[in-house]
Amino acid sequence: MRYSGLQVIKQALTGHKGWKPAWRDPEPKPNYDIIIIGGGGHGLATAYYLAKEFGQKRIAVLEKGWIGGGNVGRNTTIIRSNYLLDGNEPFYEFSLKLWEGLEQDFNYNAMISQRGILNLIHSDAQRDAFIRRGNAMLLNGADAEMLTTEQIKARYPYLNTEDARFPIKGGLAQHRGGTVRHDAVAWGYARGADKLGVDIIQNCEVTGFRQENGRCVGVETSRGYIGAGKIGCAVAGSSSRLMSKVDMRLPMESHVLQAFVSEGLKPVMPGVVTFGAGHFYCSQSDKGGLVFGGDLDGYNSYAQRGNLPVVEDVCEGGMAIFPAFGRARLLRMWGGIMDMSMDGSPIIDRTPIDGLYFNGGWCYGGFKATPASGFCFAHLLARDEPHPTATAYRFNRFETGHMIDEKGMGNQPNLH
């Protein structure tokens, strides 16, 4: 069934009886050509593009719980491509371009809203770094604009420019950045993939990999053994846990990142603002909630929850630039588990085991990367070679010294 305004009206007039499940609930088949482990944004996008762009058939997505239950369902919904380094910027710009046509492509309104992202500048050194970054974006075909404090003030008149501990000295804007209704991304990809014949199998946990002659030939699951020609893992947050089943140690740690939403408020924030002298970023959803976040809690964790010090730190950052938010109330906080990699950049690569492929290490960057990650992983799975924008995301880059370290923090994951 194709979704449209007309369809909504037709269904409303006929008692909504015609709406079908957005995706089927199939039983797993004994084997598939390609199995994707992980029914999050990246896994579902991979399956979608495998079927749609790379002509692959007999694909399954295995999800241990409910689809979209990982980080695609718990993030601050920001999309942007304001990266600096060669290994990253073309990939994230590719992702942003995919976002721009996504809803029409998969026939689902994910409320992709390019209301812009603004990185505030507070020091001359920061300005130099942002100019370098903005230039790198432009040279890569992305958009970027340097804004003066006055221009920023016109857009956010309640920003603290009078009594700020760290005065605002301008900002780097990417007007094509913005936000997306995060759950709808998972659902849109799931529905799109399902329509193309992909089996989306929920409540199916992978408990092990079966190898024959050095090749991975299938997975043991909570719903029995399933064979596969190729297997792609896209379980960011749990990557180390899954890959330990084939005795792989990964260049990453799992960390909790908390995020927050306020009660619904009449809109005051047109776009996304990030505070460069503290740890705070904020946007406002189409429902009216201020969606905001900050730094990692900072210690290894799989607990999907955090602690008060970071909650306070984030709110301090918020109050530092938006003193009018003091009387807004924080409604809910949650924690997602990040695959924090050793250089802050992801991995999309083959593993040393034939037939087994890996996608993970997304750090904070996973949500915005969803379309390109799916596309590039599908490319790798289908053609056995990396997509041109993802050639740098290799496992061996740490051994060879080709790190992609945007923040320059080195091999300490919690600093990225």
| Region 128-167 residues binding another protein, contact defined as CB under 8 A | 128-136, 138-141, 144-146, 157-158, 160, 163-167
Cβ 384 to another protein shortest distance, Å: 24
Q: Nearest CA to 242 among 28, 35, 38?
A: 38
Contact between 245 and another protein per CB under 8 A: no
Q: Nearest CA to 221 among 64, 26, 38, 24?
A: 64
Q: Nearest CA to 41 among 374, 380, 387?
A: 374
Q: Nearest CA to 293 among 259, 263, 268, 264?
A: 259
> Measured at the alpha carbon of residue 186, what is the angle toward residues 180 and 188, in degrees to the nearest 5?
85
Local structure of residue 20 (DSSP, 8 states)? P
| Residues touching another protein, count (CB under 8 A) | 143
Contact between 104 and another protein per CB under 8 A: yes
The piece of 40-48, 97-105, 219-227, 346-354 that touches another protein (CB under 8 A) is 97-105
Q: Measured between alpha carbons, how far apart are the two ends of the chain, in Å?
A: 43
Q: Count how many Cα atoms sit within 13 Å of the Cα of residue 225 in the half-sphere of its side chain.
A: 7
Contact between 179 and another protein per CB under 8 A: no
Window 278-307: residues binding another protein (CB under 8 A): 278, 284-288, 298-305, 307
The string over 46-68, giving b where at least 16 C-beta atoms fall within 10 Å of a residue's C-beta and e elsewhere, is bbbbbbbebebebbbbbbbeebb
Nearer Cβ to another protein (181/230):
181
Binding pattern to another protein, positions 342-381, x when CB under 8 A?
A: x---------------------------------------
Cβ 339 to another protein shortest distance, Å: 9
Greatest Cα pair distance in the chain: 68
Contact between 400 and another protein per CB under 8 A: yes
Nearer Cβ to another protein (274/285):
285
Contact between 251 and another protein per CB under 8 A: yes
The piece of 45-53, 210-218, 315-323, 366-374 that touches another protein (CB under 8 A) is 315-323
Contact between 19 and another protein per CB under 8 A: yes
Cβ 251 to another protein shortest distance, Å: 4
Which residue among 69, 149, 153, 205 contacts another protein (CB under 8 A)?
69
- Centre a 10 Å sphere on the Cβ of residue 121 and count the other Cβ atoms it contains: 26
Nearer Cβ to another protein (136/382):
136
Nearer Cβ to another protein (69/227):
69
Window 200-239: residues binding another protein (CB under 8 A): 202, 238
Cβ pair 63, 260 in contact under 8 A? no
Contact between 244 and another protein per CB under 8 A: yes
Window 37-56: residues binding another protein (CB under 8 A): none
Write 323-329 long-range contacts (CB < 8 A, 24+).
323/158, 323/160, 323/163, 324/158, 324/268, 325/262, 325/290, 328/262, 328/263, 328/265, 328/290, 329/262, 329/263
Contact between 247 and another protein per CB under 8 A: no
Which residue among 151, 223, 227, 330 contacts another protein (CB under 8 A)?
330
Nearer Cβ to another protein (7/57):
7
Q: Nearest CA to 36 among 186, 261, 219, 187?
A: 219
Contact between 196 and another protein per CB under 8 A: no
